[in-house]
Structure formats: C-alpha cells, structure tokens
Amino acid sequence: MTGISAKSARTMAKSNAFYAQSGGVTAVINASAAGVIETARANRSRIGRVFAGRNGIIGALTEDLIDTNREPARAIAALMHTPAGAFGSCRYKLEGLDENRAQYERLIDVFRAHDIGYFFYNGGNDSADTCLKVSQIAGMLGYPLTAVHVPKTVDNDLAVTDNCPGFGSVAKYVATSMREAAFDVASMARTSTKVFVLEVMGRHAGWITAAVGLADDAATPVPLVLLFPEIAFDEAKFLRIVDERTNRFGYCCIGVSEGLKNAEGHLMAEAGTTDAFGHAQLGGVGPRIAKLVKDRLDYKYHWAVADYLQRAARHLASKTDLDQSYAVGKAAVEMALAGHNAVMPSIVRVSDKPYRWKIGVAQLADVANKEKMLPRNFITPDGYGITDRARAYLVPLIRGESPPPYRDGLPQYVRLKNVAVTQRLAAKFTI
C-alpha cells in the first residue's frame, strides 16, 4: 500500500472506483449500476477496476468489496432489465462527522487499501448527505477522492433534479394497476364490489399517490379519490365524496398513501387501537380506509397493498425512467473524470411537449438532506385529485416500455457472481 498516499493529482492518475447502492431499491437502480460500470470500462486508461460494496456502504466499512471486473459484459448489460440491487443495498445511515468520525476514517482506510479514487454512491437524500461527508473527510485527511452521488429514489423527493430515477417506473406501475383494477370493479359493481382501495408508497411526499391519478384520463375516466400525505385526513368530507362518486358512477376507486395523516399529524397506519380502524400492528392504511367505507357507507369493498411489488416491477418499467437511470450512472463517471467533485448528475427538464431532458450538474450541498415536496398546485383544490399541471409533469416520466426478456413465461433477471475482492486490511470493522 505504500505509494498510494503519494499520489497528488488523482484526476490525472489511474485509480479504482467504488460503487454502492443505498436505501430502498427500485426497478431500475441496476441500470444506473450498468451506466457506472460500462462507462468506467470505456475509460480504462483512467479508471482501473470498479469495486461494488456488498450490501451498500456496509461493504466498504467491512471491506467486503465485490470485483465487478469478474462479470462479463453481457451480465452488466443484463442489469438494464433486472430490478432491485444487484450488489445488495442497505438501510444504514452514517452518523455525522462529529458523532462518528471513525466510520468515515475507516472508509478512507478501505479506499486507500484498494487504491480507490472514485466514490459513486447511488441513493436518495441520506446518501447524498453521506456522499458529501465522505468527500469532506477525504479532503480533511488529504486523501484524493472524487465523490459523485447517483440519484435514486421511488419517493421522487430529491432536490434540484426535476425527477428521480426509480420514480417513473413506480408511477407507471401504480397508474396501470389502478386502471386495471378500476376496469375490474366497474364490471362487478352492479352486484359486488363498489369501492376499491389501493395503498401505495411514499410516506412523506405524495408523488406516488399523484401518479395513481393518471389512471383516470379523458379516454378512460375513472371515479378516483386520492388521499395524499400532504392533506390531513378529513373523515366526514372523505366519506361524503366517496358516497357521492359511488352513487353517481356506480363505483369508486381510492388511492391512499401509506403516509396518510390525521388532523393531529399522526400517521393513520399507526393510529393505534384507540380509533375506529382496528388493530394498528397489522399495518396498512389501505385496509383501514376500506373498512371505514364499509362501516359508515356499507359498500362492499376490496383493497390491495402493492408494497414491494410496485418498486420491484421491472416487467412494467418506464422506458424514460430506465434511460434516465442509465444516464445518471454514465454521467456520474463522466463528471468524475472531468474533475467534478461532491456533485450529483441531475435531470433537467427542457420542455414538456415534446418532453425533452438533459443531464445537469447539481452541487451535493444543494441536494443533501433536502426534501422536495409535491407542490400544492399539483393537487386539486378539494384535496382529492391531481391537476393538469401534475399531469404535464408526470406523464412524460412514465412514457415508454422496455420489457425484460422472458423465458417460460417469466422475466429472466440476472444474478451476478459477486466475487469478493481479497481483503487487505488487518483491522476488522463491526457494524
């Protein structure tokens, strides 16, 4: 390991790269991995090997690195059509520099041991912050490191970027699923189910809930009621509108965010045993809303909770989302090679019609720990629907299909070999 610290101008010398996936995975995060790895391979004169963290940043801390060079080009290409995190992800938040400086120093030790000069971190708000801190500690320790964050989150709540890779595919899934279920309910409503409830993800911001609204359009109108996390649940008003729509259209479909809150700001899903909804620990605001409709309005109901199905549904991924996910991975490497540090490729919307986008450069300091909420003017004044402005924003993000290859009726997803890199450090690190 001697000599590594002597390197002075990292951007001119050849060194290895580290890539890790962070937080909840998506249908297309592996496309970003493919973007990083293929672009690094295309720049072998500058980037040696790409190591991936097994289970995200934990892999760096424990020196459990995966040698992506052991994967053939076709396996990396197959990441384009494979959902979830091919190297494993984790929910593990590094504390602040002051609280746990040792963790950050450990990361630098591992990077130094493996001649890692590039750090690509693929995640959401928290990981943007981590990426920034890693960049800062490297500077403090005089270790030459280029840190670039690769955006990813189904929650679509990252600042600066117009939208987040991973969101468009969830949006397409929930809108398609609601449309399909609405056709089902409409055909049964005369004698059977009249109210259908679909619970979707997005605990803090209602982007995914808004996407459910796309199920209803001019060609195929659907009586929809959306319950956003941004709008405090008003039971009487909600029941009135559900009753009204069910009477008028014969049925009604409800899209509810897992993050729906009551007027006191408490999550409905955690409202406990003291309210009318039943046992809290079973979770699921969807069934609670359905039961409320049954108890108060006596309509026959069905409910679905898509849970991981919505974010893992690579079979229904948005082509736009897929393209952008690859593009941010590719751009991250290009930015690093161009000398950018502590940045994130952002998606810049050039125009709505036709939809045009390009990659921009966002400063991590402007992204880290910020949360982009759904604008109020994306929600109709009554609080239960989406506006034309929301549609103009959302529709381009779900456009296009890119189905995976199928064999015997099922999508063929790749599993990488994930060969471990030989450890070089004597010191172990325990999570």
**Which CB, 307 or 334, lies closer to its own copies?**
307
Range 318-347, binding its own copies (CB under 8 A): 318, 320
Q: Pick from 44, 96, 140, 187 the residue near its own copies by CB under 8 A.
A: 187
Give me the amino acid identity at 200.
Answer: V
Range 244-283, binding its own copies (CB under 8 A): 278-279, 281-283
Range 361-420, binding its own copies (CB under 8 A): 395, 397-401, 403, 406-413, 415
Sign of torsion, CA 242 280 283 168?
positive
Q: Pick from 284, 345, 383, 385 the residue near its own copies by CB under 8 A.
A: 284
| Cα angle 177, 180, 185; round to 5 | 120
Residue 308 binds its own copies, judged by CB under 8 A: yes
**Which CB, 147 or 222, lies closer to its own copies?**
222
- Nearest approach in angstroms of CB 302 to its own copies is 5
Nearest to 117 by CA among 5, 7, 17, 12: 17
Give me the amino acid identity at 430.
Answer: T
Range 5-64, binding its own copies (CB under 8 A): 21, 24-25, 27, 55, 58
**Pairwise CA distance, residues 94 & 48, whole Å:** 27
Range 108-167, binding its own copies (CB under 8 A): none
| Cα angle 174, 178, 179; round to 5 | 120
Residue 298 binds its own copies, judged by CB under 8 A: no
Q: Pick from 79, 227, 271, 306 the residue near its own copies by CB under 8 A.
A: 306
Range 196-235, binding its own copies (CB under 8 A): 196, 198, 214-215, 217, 219-220
- Nearest approach in angstroms of CB 100 to its own copies is 17
- Nearest approach in angstroms of CB 361 to its own copies is 28
Nearest to 305 by CA among 209, 225, 198: 198
Q: Which of 64, 155, 157, 162 is catalytic?
A: 155
The answer to whether residues 420 and 54 touch, using CB atoms and an 8 Å cutoff, is yes
**Pairwise CA distance, residues 128 & 122, whole Å:** 8
The answer to whether 408 is a known catalytic residue is no
Q: Pick from 11, 136, 176, 423 the residue near its own copies by CB under 8 A.
A: 176
**Which CB, 141 or 188, lies closer to its own copies?**
188
DSSP line for 223-291: -EEEE-TTS---HHHHHHHHHHHHHHHS-EEEEEETT-B-TTS-BGGG--TTSTT--GGG--HHHHHHH
**Which CB, 179 or 330, lies closer to its own copies?**
179
Residue 80 binds its own copies, judged by CB under 8 A: no
Nearest to 108 by CA among 57, 39, 54: 57
Using DSSP bridges, classify how beta strands 301-305 and 252-257 pair: parallel, antiparallel or unpaired.
unpaired
Give the residue numbers annotated as catalytic, written as ranges. Answer: 155
